[in-house]
Amino acid sequence: MAFAPLDQRSQDDVAAMLGKLSSADQDRLVAAMGTIEQVLGETPAPPVSYILRPPRPGDMGWIVSRHGALYGEEYGWDERLEALTAEIVAAFVRNQDHKRERCWIAERDGENVGSVFLVRETDEVARLRLLLVEPSARGLGIGARLVDEALRFAREARYRMITLWTHSVLSAARHIYERAGFRLIETNKHNEFGRTLVGETWKLELEKHQQQ
């Protein structure tokens, strides 16, 4: 019984701390605690569930906003990245060829956690653009799944090649591209986003890759 007041005081302190967090932060905290329990072997890992779907109203604005925020937070890139993202998204919305161009949104527990675009460059060449996975959803295979879906669609649309532009610092994305069969063909230094960066052009020849 002597410990009862202490237990209650501890519960009250924890409740007070949690009360200061936003709902999203509380959800992330609970998820992190679940991960700790799984690593320690106290609970089995639940199945990871997410869906890939077409964009809905509001999703394009989310893509622009999250690119600006995440690249700013994680790499120190400036607002020019967000401006470029907005230009790409606006061009897609205005000019989309629905038979040969697509955008996919990854959604988990009702929240957007990823995106990718496949857009027409020429009749035979498509471009993969704006691959993004939220930090809370990384390590679940969502990025690879988004790229795989884009490749599947590109083959159905009878493109012969896919190209993309990325950067040497984006190691996770580069790993996904390499595993999917893309090959680095060109590099260039630039300072477009407020940092000295090494841009990279990667390509995947679909017919050649299918034969291997």
pLDDT in tens, 111-142: 999 999 999 999 999 999 999 999 999 999 99
pLDDT exceeds 80 at position 43: no
Which residues touch 124 (CB under 8 Å, ≥6 apart)?
159, 160, 161
Q: Where are the alpha helices (DSSP H) in the chain?
A: 4-19, 23-40, 59-75, 79-95, 142-156, 171-180, 206-211
What is the mean pLDDT of the segment spanning 11-18? 58
115, 146 in Cβ contact below 8 A? yes
Question: Helix (H, G, I), strand (E, B), or coil: what is residue 70?
Answer: helix
Task: Count CA within 13 A, CB hemisphere, residue 3.
Answer: 1
The DSSP element (H or E) to which 119 belongs, if any, is strand 111-120
104 vs 16: which has the higher pLDDT: 104
CB atoms within 10 A of CB 112: 20
Domain ranges of the chain: 4-40, 51-211
Least confident of 43-52, 119-128, 137-146, 154-163: 43-52
* CATH of the domain spanning 51-211, picked from 3.30.70.20, 3.30.565.10, 3.40.630.30, 3.40.50.720: 3.40.630.30
pLDDT of residue 27 exceeding 80, the answer is: no
- What are phi and psi for residue 141, nearest 5 degrees? 85, 10
Is residue 26 helix, strand or coil? helix
Asked whether the predicted pLDDT for residue 37 surpasses 80, the reply is no
What is the predicted pLDDT for the residue at 96? 97
- pLDDT, greater one: 180 or 24: 180
Furthest-apart CA pair in the chain: how many Å? 78
The total of other beta-carbon atoms located within 10 Å of residue 83's CB is 13
User: pLDDT-derived band of residue 24, with 50, 70 and 90 as boundaries?
Assistant: very low
List Cβ neighbours of 10 (8 Å cut-off, separation of 6 or more).
none
Per-residue pLDDT at 32 exceeds 90:
no
Look at residue 55 and tell me whether its pLDDT is greater than 80. yes
Alpha carbons within 13 A on the beta-carbon side of 155: 13
Task: Answer for the pair 125, 161: CB distance below 8 angstroms, yes or no.
Answer: yes
pLDDT for 3 equals: 45
Mean predicted confidence (pLDDT) in 174-203: 97
204: left (phi over 0), alpha (psi -120 to 50) or beta: beta
